[in-house]
Amino acid sequence: MRCTTALLPASRSEDRMKRATALLLTLCLSGALVQAETASGSDLSHEVRALRATVEELRLMESRLAASELKVKDQENSVKDLRTELDVTKTELLLYHEKAKELEKKLADGHKVAFSVALTGPVGPFNVETTLIYPKVMTNIGNAYNVYSGFFSAPVNGVYFFRFNAMDDRKSHHMGVALHKNDQRVLLDYAWNHWDDHEHVSNGVILELSQGDVVHMRLPAGYRVTDWDTRHFNIFSGFLLFPM
């Protein structure tokens, strides 16, 4: 608002001039004040709206931050669980490694057992079941097979493999052999010779033995097996797979 002051005639009194001047000044100040108040209210309202928008943005950021912190915490817990599982796996692997090293040491420094023996002539028939004694020793590492008794004695606790072959040439007769662990029959292999020719049987088995257990071959009553010197149709073999 613009304010102008008109010049009064010199004839007017001094009081009337003062009153008019005061009135004009009041009007000017009142208009300026209204404009100032209006301008100030508009700026304040704008600042309040801007402040509210900032507060809402901060709340949104705070919510996102809280969600991110929760996700990070869950990931940290998952990482802790994975580390725990990894530590357990490492411990188990170390135990397996130690066991493997111990077993390797036993195999390297422990007992070496292997034998293979054969008959050198016909045996049987007998009226009772009889232990077969193989007099021809081809291999007897560890001396676990007794050539006088026909028994193999386990020198250590372990898992062993045994195999045998048997042959006879009598026509119209049974032939065969049985493998025994201690006093228990494990295998019995036999055949009927229909022709005047060689009849063969063979078999093998893996046994878990304790130290001192014996394994031997027996000839059933009425059976016969036949061999000639170096032919070695009848062989009994075994060896230690691994100790326990």
145 in the same domain as 95: no
CATH of residue 153: 2.60.120.40
151 in the same domain as 40: no
DSSP type of residue 127: S
Residue 87 lies in a domain: yes
Residue 216 lies in a domain: yes
Please give the pLDDT value at position 172: 65
Residue 180 lies in a domain: yes
Please give the pLDDT value at position 8: 44
Instruction: Look at residues 81, 109, 137 and tell me which one is the last residue of a structural domain.
Output: 109
63 in the same domain as 84: yes
Residue 76 lies in a domain: yes
Instruction: Look at residues 62, 87, 109 and tell me which one is the last residue of a structural domain.
Output: 109
Short-list 227, 94, 96, CA closest to 164: 227
181 in the same domain as 144: yes
Residue 2 lies in a domain: no
Please give the pLDDT value at position 185: 96
126 in the same domain as 209: yes
Please give the pLDDT value at position 76: 84
**pLDDT tens string for the chain (244 positions)?**
454 444 445 455 566 665 555 555 555 545 554 554 555 566 777 777 777 778 788 888 888 888 888 888 888 888 888 888 888 888 888 888 888 777 677 656 667 999 999 999 999 899 999 999 999 999 999 999 999 999 999 999 999 999 999 988 776 677 889 999 999 999 998 877 666 667 778 999 999 999 999 999 999 999 989 888 778 899 999 999 999 8
Residue 198 lies in a domain: yes
177 in the same domain as 67: no
161 in the same domain as 80: no
Residue 5 lies in a domain: no
Cβ neighbours, 10 Å, residue 71: 10
123 in the same domain as 235: yes
37 in the same domain as 156: no
Round to whole Å and give the CA distance between 240 and 160: 4
176 in the same domain as 77: no
Instruction: Look at residues 59, 77, 109 and tell me which one is the last residue of a structural domain.
Output: 109
Complete edge-to-edge strand list for the sheet that includes strand 114-118: 136-141, 114-118, 235-243, 158-168, 199-209
Short-list 151, 110, 146, CA closest to 240: 110
Using CA atoms, how far residue 102 sits from 112, 209, 242, in Å, is 16, 20, 12
183 in the same domain as 225: yes
Round to whole Å and give the CA distance between 148 and 145: 9
Contact 226, 200 (CB under 8 A): no
Across the strands, what pairs with 176?
190
Report the domain count for the chain. 2
Look up the domain containing 175 and give its range: 114-243
151 in the same domain as 79: no
Round to whole Å and give the CA distance between 136 and 231: 11
